[in-house]
Structure 1
Amino acid sequence: MRWGERPVGVRWTAAAYVTGFLEGAGAHAYFLVKSGPHAYAYAPVLIQLLFHGLVLLDPLVALLTAMGRPVGPPVAAAVMTADLVANWVVEWSAVRADPLAFLRPAGLLPISVFGVFVLASAVPMRRALMSDG
């Protein structure tokens, strides 16, 4: 089914996925170019590897979604789950020390909001992308 034939909500959700994951890829690429392989030296090694891997995983999710592949939403949910857990692990002590800092419009708050959106919409999106109309 072509994108123009899909329900408006499915198109908007797909656009949000593509936008969010490309923004994430851009942010991780920026940090990698700016600071090199030690961009995330403050984090445990596995989290550093994940954050570097998001330079490839985020655009993959955006591509799968843009192509209307039903596998896109589950992959998006898996990537966002890993990203959310990693970010919360890294930021937990800062959030505990100053909970209001979490309300900044950059950092953990938008990642968390986008993550909840992806996790809440992944199953309906997969179903919508599997349907023939």
Structure 2
Amino acid sequence: MALAVYVLGFCEGACAHFLDLARGGIHAYAAFATVPLQVFFVSLAVLDPVVVALVAAARPEGIRLAAGVMTLDVTANWIVNWPQLQADPAWLLRPVGLLPITLFGLFVITTAVPVLRTMKEAVVHPAR
């Protein structure tokens, strides 16, 4: 079940980044992000589908990559949204943007170790 949530979440993220790039090109994030953060957000158009492929194949590397990507993604989104949050704390409660990214990131980060443990056990003790 957790793997399905990972796949859906990273598919949504990939689509969002593809749309951003289709609309604004590689400078889609220039209005609000520093160059390193712009590079990161653009790279998510590649990283998110890689996570989807690895997780869909039930590869432990996909879970590790998912946790790393979401740690960086949540951090980057909080950095770019921080000025808006200081001006209007209710900004966090919007159903699109920082809140779902943060919740999905927390889900991935908190489930990564149990999912990896379950994958390892499945290899050691395969179902008969």
Q: Aligned to 1:60, which of 44, 50, 54?
A: 50
Q: Aligned to 2:112, which of 122, 126, 133?
A: 122
Q: 1: distance between equivalents of 2:100 and 2:72?
A: 15
Q: How many residues are treated as equivalent by the alignment?
A: 122
Instruction: Give the superposition deviation at 1:131.
Output: 1.9
Q: 1: distance between equivalents of 2:90 and 2:13?
A: 23
| Equivalent in the alignment of 2:12 | 23
**Are 2:26 and 1:37 aligned?**
yes
- Tell me which amino acid in the other structure corresponds to 1:19: L
Please list every run of 5 or more consecutive structure 2 residues that lacks an aligned counterpart in the other structure: none
- Tell me which amino acid in the other structure corresponds to 1:80: M
**What secondary structure sits across from 2:60 in the alignment?**
coil
Q: Aligned to 2:66, which of 76, 89, 100?
A: 76
- Compare relative contact order (CA 8 Å, sep 6+) and give the higher one, 1 or 2: 1
Q: State whether residues 71 and 126 of structure 1, in contact with CA within 8 Å, keep that contact through their aligned partners in structure 2.
A: no
**TM-score normalised according to structure 1 size:** 0.89
- Tell me which amino acid in the other structure corresponds to 1:88: W
Deviations 1:6-31 (A, max 9, x none): xxxxxx10000000001001000100
Superposition RMSD in Å: 0.8
- Tell me which amino acid in the other structure corresponds to 1:117: F
Q: Aligned to 2:76, which of 70, 81, 86?
A: 86
Q: Aligned to 1:98, which of 88, 98, 117?
A: 88
Kindly report structure 1 stretches of 4+ aligned residues shifted beyond 6 Å: none
